Amino acid sequence: MASAEEIAANVEKDEKETLFPVLFMFLSFGSMIVGLGLISLFQDYYAYAMCALLYVAVVAIEFRFQIRSPVSISMLVLYTGLAILDYVTKDYTGYAGIIIFAWLTALSTVLLLFGKPFTAFYSNGKGLRSLHIVSSLIWTAAYALSLLASVLLMPDVLYLIIPYVLCISLGLLTIFLNLVWFGRGNGRQERFSIQEFEFHRLLVDSPEFPTFCDFFARQIYRPGDDGNMKTVAEIAEIVSKTEKELAADSYIFVAKDAGRIVGCMRCILDRKGRPFPLEIEMGSSLDRLRQVGRLMHVGRLAVDDHYRERPAVLNGLFKCFLDLSLSRDVSFVVAEGYRHRLPTYLKLGFEIMFDRSDRRHAVKMAYGYVCYPMFMNFSFLVFNRGDASLKRYHFSDFINPYLAERWYKRAGLRYYFRPRRLWPWRFTLRQVKELV
């Protein structure tokens, strides 16, 4: 297993390779718009010189993070050349846009033909390849249409306005695809199958909801265990009441074999001013942890005894949990682990939150059984999912690559300007305990 120092070094490495380069995609877009705006308003030596200086800064920052973007480098060369050309002669005044769009169209097209979409340079070739290709295609279309408009509409003022509007509009489209949605096939799946097992979300108003409550109650029922005197029916009733109170914030996932529930897991989305059931039972607040990153609560993990040896059941439920966490930009996850479920939670990457000496090490839940508060630094696992020491969690095997990439990009925008000590993926369990 890797040492703490090695894992910390990997975090540093991943921050540079995945978090910060994401920001340069937006830096490039912003620089493009500012540059086009300057030369549209002021077609003279000073405008080109200012654009050249802008790209000197862009290229220098990109080099600092080992990014070699052909677009940024060529824009620096182009603006420098236009500044020199305008200083020598005024014969080319008004043609800067045509020259720039012609070059960018040719450059992005050639890169695509050689299988190197230019957006991939901003992530050192990492990320979802299909997203890189689509983003580069959109930008290539923006450049080509802008070139066409510049040529056909000159000298009408629209030859300046139309390309500018096109670049902004299609640039915003690429941002939408990178940060919001990239097709149904790349989103969180409400229903999917692994081998013969079907997995889907179960709503509280579903006809199958009472079956779920009864299934979970029977799975955790241990006569006389922990001093619990409740019957299966009483436990099922408590489960039903709790889930209905949570309503849409409760995501119940079930695994089915031939239409019969054989496994389940429930995730609770966080809401301001409403504590998780676990917080109430252990008498502690997670509000200070909420200030660091988004939380989610996991529970109701159960698998039928006859399916405990079938990895596909637990793997499918784990995938449901992972995709929901990624889609909601979750940083930390807390869970309630019953004694006979602890090995499963530990296998998935959770840790027991409190030491034995802490009164919160074990707490009794509403239906009478003792559980152990568990914790997972979800953001740490996302950042380090390629680390060999974390392979035992099989985290990377079930992750949605687009949702993970989108999580990175949103994290980059959300946390970049915070002090490093407040970045969620840097928090250890010891630091978390200090906040609870």
188 belongs to a structural domain: no
The strand pair at 332-338 and 351-352 is best described as unpaired
Q: Which of 136, 157, 182 is the last residue of a domain?
A: 182
**Nearest alpha-carbon partner for 399 in 42, 128, 112:** 128
Considering the domain architecture, whether residues 208 and 129 belong to the same structural domain is answered as: no
Are residue 32 and residue 60 in the same domain, yes or no? yes
CB distance 389 to 1 below 8 Å:
yes
Q: How far apart are CA 299 and CA 212, in angstroms?
A: 13
Interacting residues of 282 by C-beta distance below 8 A, sequence separation 6+: 360, 363, 373
Q: What pLDDT does residue 226 have? A: 66
Give SS3 for 309.
coil
Give the contacts of 127 (CB within 8 A, at least 6 positions apart): 120, 405
Yes or no: say if 372 and 334 are a contact pair by the CB < 8 Å rule. no
Rounded Cα distance, 336 and 180, in Å: 31
Among 182, 214, 238, residue at a domain's last position: 182
Is 78 inside any structural domain? yes
Residues 176 and 253 in one domain: no
Residue 187 inside a domain? The answer is no
For 60, half-sphere exposure in the C-beta direction (CA atoms, 13 angstrom radius) is: 6
Tokens of 259: 């239409």
Same domain, yes or no: 178 and 235: no
Which CATH number goes with the domain that contains 331?
A: 3.40.630.30
Specify whether 220 is located in the same domain as 145: no
Establish how many alpha carbons lie within 13 A of residue 273's alpha carbon, considering only the half-sphere containing its beta carbon: 0
Q: Per the domain annotation, does 393 fall within a domain?
A: yes
Beta strands in 209-279 (DSSP E): 250-257, 260-269
At CB < 8 A and 24+ separation, what contacts does 242-249 make? 242/277, 242/366, 243/204, 243/209, 243/213, 244/204, 247/204
Q: Looking at the structure, tell me whether residues 234 and 313 fall in a common domain.
A: yes
Whole-number pLDDT of residue 385: 78
Q: Is residue 63 situated within a structural domain?
A: yes
Q: What's the CA gap between 370 and 135, in Å, rounded?
A: 51
In a domain? residue 275:
yes
One domain, residues 351 and 250: yes
CA 27 to chain centroid: 20
Q: Is 86 exposed, middle or buried (0-12, 13-18, 19+ CB in 10 A)?
A: buried
The pTM of this model reads: 0.90
pLDDT in tens, the chain (436 residues): 444 455 455 545 555 545 555 677 778 888 989 998 888 778 778 899 999 999 999 999 888 888 899 999 999 999 999 999 888 877 666 788 899 999 999 999 999 999 999 988 888 778 889 999 999 999 999 999 999 999 999 888 888 899 999 999 999 999 999 999 999 999 999 999 999 999 999 999 999 999 999 999 999 888 776 667 788 999 999 999 999 999 999 999 999 999 999 999 999 999 999 999 999 999 999 999 999 999 999 999 999 999 999 999 999 999 999 999 999 999 999 999 988 889 999 989 999 999 999 999 999 888 778 899 999 999 999 988 777 777 788 888 888 999 998 998 898 888 888 888 899 998 999 999 999 9
Within this chain, do residues 153 and 254 fall inside the same structural domain, yes or no? Answer: no
For 231-267, letters b (16+ CB in 10 Å) and e give ebeebbbbbbebbeebeeebbbbbbbbeeebbbbbbb
**Dist CA 403 CA 323 (whole Å):** 7
Q: Is residue 277 part of a domain?
A: yes
Domain that holds residue 259: 193-435
Residue 24 tokens read as 């340069």
Q: Based on the fold, state whether residues 157 and 203 are members of the same structural domain.
A: no
Query: Per the domain annotation, does 135 fall within a domain?
Result: yes
Among residues 157, 182, 207, the one where a domain terminates is 182
Q: Do 247 and 326 lie in a common domain?
A: yes
Residues 20 and 53 in one domain: yes
Within 8 A by CB and 6+ apart from 436, the residues are 284, 285, 286, 288, 289, 353
Residue 253: C-alpha distances to residues 147, 316, 321, 336 (Å): 51, 9, 8, 16
163 and 200 both lie in a single domain: no
- Provide the pLDDT for residue 256: 98
Count of domains observed in the chain: 2
Instruction: Output the DSSP codes for 101-119.
Output: HHHHHHHHHHHHHTT--GG
Residue 7, pLDDT score: 46
